Each structure stands twice: as structure tokens, then as C-alpha cells.
Amino acid sequence: MEAFLFSTGVVALAEMGDKTQLLALVLAARFRRPAPIALGILAATLANHALAAWAGAWVTGVLGPQTMRWILGASFLGMALWSLRPDRLEEGKAHDARFGVLATTLVSFFLVEMGDKTQVATVALAARYATIAPVVAGTTLGMLVANVPVVYLGERILRRVPAKAVQRVAAASFAVLGVLALLAQDR
């Protein structure tokens, strides 16, 4: 349960102001069909994060817990710095609606999530907990918690939540997690 809850919180926090959240806003504004967009986010995240979690669990088995503790700590500190840099969605992404709203969302989210900080967090969390299912369920829920309200409420939310404040809270949280991971004793 700890892996699920922690994964949910970390990814929901990391997703604030992220390019996939911007993508959710762009898709919502363009298509104005929130249900297929939310389903596309769910499917893309499950697929992407399942692959990332599998990689994280595999790496743990290969490198061992001591090495992974240092990698995990450094990863979280890196994500803290990365969180301070605002994401921008490149022009032209996710605007091809030939395949319908659901397929456009699924493909766009899957591709934009590649190498994203939430995908990196999923790898690190799977390595930390050495378990896939609760991490994928948690990271997927975190993505939905952060993105589905944007799909349904869009700009009304963005006008009231200062992006800089969210970025700073996310960065501080990742920094704390990184330090805690570096200071942790082997289990």
C-alpha cells in the first residue's frame, strides 16, 4: 500500500505544470470531448508506466540495493532541478485528429511521456519498491489526479493556481525525497 500511495503522490506532484498536463489542456481545448481524452490518458499512462516500472524493477535486480539507493537519491535530486524548469509543449504536437480523439490522445500522451520526469519517477519508484503493480497503479492514478481535472476544467484551474508556486513545491518535495534516499540505510 505504501508503494501505491507514495507513487500516486510523487507523480501527481511531478505532473503539475508538466508538458503532458499542457497536452491535456491543448487536447481539451481542441476537441472539447473530455471522456475520450481521459480514457486516452489512462491507456497511454498504463502502457508507458508499466514499461518504465518493469525497467526500474529489472535495474534493481542487476545493480543491487546499495547502488540503487545512490541512483534513486540522485534521480530525485535531478527531478527537483528539472521541476523548476517550466515545460512547454512543442508546436504541432497532438493536433492530428485523423484517428479520433481517443487514439490521438493515447498516441500523443504515450510519446510525450517518453523520457518525461513522471516516467523517470516511475522507473525510480519501481526500483525503490522492487514491485511493479502498485507502482504502476499509483503513478497512473497520480497522472489522472493531475490531468483529468485539467481536461474537464481547463483554463479555470490554470488561472487560479500559480505555476511557479507549484513548481517550487514539487522541486522542494523531490529534493527532500532525494536527500532521504541518500541518507536511508539498507533494508
Per-residue pLDDT of the chain in tens (187 residues, 90 and over written 9)? 999 999 999 899 888 877 788 788 878 877 878 999 999 999 999 999 999 888 888 877 777 767 766 776 777 677 677 667 665 555 444 445 567 889 989 988 888 888 778 888 888 888 888 789 999 999 999 999 999 998 988 766 656 766 676 667 767 776 787 787 778 665 4
Cα distance between residue 76 and residue 175, in whole Å: 6
Q: What is the pLDDT of residue 58?
A: 83
Give the torsion sign (CA, 90, 93, 94, 96). positive
In the chain, the amino acid numbered 95 is H
Angle at 53 between CA 73 and CA 110, to 5 degrees: 110
Cα distance between residue 65 and residue 48, in whole Å: 24
pTM passes above 0.75: no
Q: What is the pLDDT of residue 37?
A: 94
Angle at 86 between CA 120 and CA 72, to 5 degrees: 25
Q: What is the pLDDT of residue 88?
A: 56
The string of DSSP letters for 93-120 reads: TT---TTHHHHHHHHHHHHHHTT-HHHH
Q: What is the pLDDT of residue 94?
A: 47
In the chain, the amino acid numbered 20 is T
